[in-house]
Amino acid sequence: MAEAVMSDARERAEIQEQLRAHNIAVAQPTDPPLFTAAPVSSMQPYHWKAADLARLLELIGGKLKLEAGGMRRTLRLANPGLPYGTTPTFWCSIQYIHPGEVATSHRHAATALRFVMQGSGTETTVDGELYMMRQGDLVLTPSWTWHDHENVSPTPMVWLDVLDISLVRALNATFFEPLDLPRQPVAQQSDRSFRQFGSGIMRPVDAKATRLASPVLAYAWDRAVQALEAASALEPDPYDDIILEYQNPLTGGSALPT
Ligand code: GTQ
Ligand code: FE2
C-alpha cells in the first residue's frame, strides 16, 4: 500500500471480519505489499561445505537403503529461508550410488541436470539413449524423459542433481510415472546425441529443434575442459574472468529452458 496507515483502517478490519466466513478479504494496512519494485525472496545465502558433504555422503551411503528413498539415495540441500527447495525454482541434491546399484527408471515433469562429482562408470539411460557418466560430465534429463542409472564401476559414485521441482511445484504441474522395469530398454546407439552434436562446432545438416531442451544429453568433461583451456588465452572479463556456458547446439540458447 502506498500510504502507511489507511484512514479507514478500522472499517477495513470490521469488514474483513464479516468477509472471513465467505473466504473473501479486503486489503489491510498490515498486508505485505502485493507488488514490489524488484523481486523479493526469503531465500538465504548458505554455504554447504565440501568436508561436511563428504562426511554426510559416507553416512547415508553406509546407512540408507536405496529402496526407501524412492530408489534414490540423496542429500537434499534445503535452503534455511525457504519452506521447500534450495532456491525458489530449484532443488539441488547430491546422489550417492554403490557399485551394482540400480536407480530404477521413471520420468517426471521436472527437468534435471547432473554434474558428476566423484567416480566414473555409471550407465545413465535417457529416453533409450545410453551414456556412461564420468567425473565432471554434465548430463541432462529433460522434462518427461525416462531415466535410470546403474553403477557398473567398482567404486561408489556421487553426483549433483539439480531439478526444477520448486518451480514445477509452484506451477502445480507435478507429474511422475515409474516404469514397470528397473531399467528401460536401450533403443538407440549409445552416446547418439553426443556423436551427432558433441563436436560443438558442427552438426547434422538436417538437424531441427523438436523441443526446448538441448538435443545433446551429455556434455563430456574432457570437451568442456578443452573449450575452457582454449578460452583461457583470451582477454578475461573484469567480473567473470573466463566464463563459458553449456549451450543448446541447435539454438545457441540455454541447454535447458528452465
Ligand atoms: O536421479 O532421477 O536427486 O528423480 C531427485 C529426483 C534425483 C533422479 C534426485 C530424481 C532423481
Ligand atoms: Fe528422476
Determine the distance separating the centroid of ligand 2 and the alpha carbon of 81, expressed in angstroms.
Answer: 25
List strand residue ranges (DSSP E) for 50-137, in order: 74-77, 91-97, 102-108, 112-118, 122-126, 129-133
Q: Domains of the chain by range and CATH? A: 1-40 (no CATH), 50-231 (2.60.120.10)
* pTM of structure: 0.92
Determine the distance separating the centroid of ligand 1 and the alpha carbon of 51, expressed in angstroms.
Answer: 23
Taking the CA of residue 74 as reference, the ligand 1 atom at the shortest distance is 3
Grid coordinates in use for 75? 542429500
Judged by average pLDDT, the poorest of 9-23, 145-159, 198-212 is: 198-212
Q: Percentage of the chain surpassing pLDDT 90?
A: 88
CA–centroid distance for 217 within its chain: 14
Taking the CA of residue 161 as reference, the ligand 1 atom at the shortest distance is 3
Task: Determine the pLDDT at residue 199.
Answer: 86
Determine the distance separating the centroid of ligand 1 and the alpha carbon of 35, expressed in angstroms.
Answer: 35
Task: Determine the pLDDT at residue 189.
Answer: 83
Does residue 57 contact residue 98 with C-beta atoms inside 8 Å?
A: no
Judged by average pLDDT, the poorest of 3-7, 65-69, 125-129 is: 3-7
Among the bound ligands, name the one nearest to the CA of residue 70. 1
Of the two residues 167 and 1, the one the predictor is more confident about is: 167
Read off the pLDDT of each residue in 90-113 and give the average, rounded to a whole number. Answer: 98
**Ligand 1 binding pocket, CB closer than 6 Å:** 72, 74, 93, 95, 103, 108, 112, 147, 161, 163
Determine the distance separating the centroid of ligand 2 and the alpha carbon of 249, expressed in angstroms.
Answer: 24
Write phi, then psi, for 60 (nearest 5 degrees): -70, -30
Distances (CA, A) of 28 to 38, 87, 97: 22, 29, 52
Residue 147's DSSP bridge partners are 106, 126
Residue of 219, 258, 194 whose CA lies nearest to 114: 219
Read off the pLDDT of each residue in 159-183 and give the average, rounded to a whole number. Answer: 97
Per-residue confidence band for 5, with pLDDT thresholds at 50, 70 and 90 = low
Q: Which residue has the least CA distance to atom 1 on ligand 1?
A: 72
Residue of 94, 136, 98 whose CA lies nearest to 115: 136
Task: Determine the pLDDT at residue 160.
Answer: 98
Q: Which residue has the least CA distance to atom 9 on ligand 1?
A: 161
Average pLDDT over the chain, rounded to an integer: 94
Per-residue confidence band for 1, with pLDDT thresholds at 50, 70 and 90 = very low
Residue 151 has pLDDT above 70, yes or no: yes
Per-residue confidence band for 100, with pLDDT thresholds at 50, 70 and 90 = very high
Residue of 36, 148, 43 whose CA lies nearest to 101: 148
Determine the distance separating the centroid of ligand 1 and the alpha carbon of 41, expressed in angstroms.
Answer: 25
Q: Could you give the count of Cα atoms lying within 13 Å of 143 in the half-sphere of its Cβ?
A: 15
Task: Determine the pLDDT at residue 69.
Answer: 84
Among the bound ligands, name the one nearest to the CA of residue 72. 1
Residue 2 has pLDDT above 80, yes or no: no
The number of beta carbons lying within 10 Å of the beta carbon of residue 88 is 16
Read off the pLDDT of each residue in 31-57 and give the average, rounded to a whole number. Answer: 96
Read off the pLDDT of each residue in 11-15 and give the average, rounded to a whole number. Answer: 93
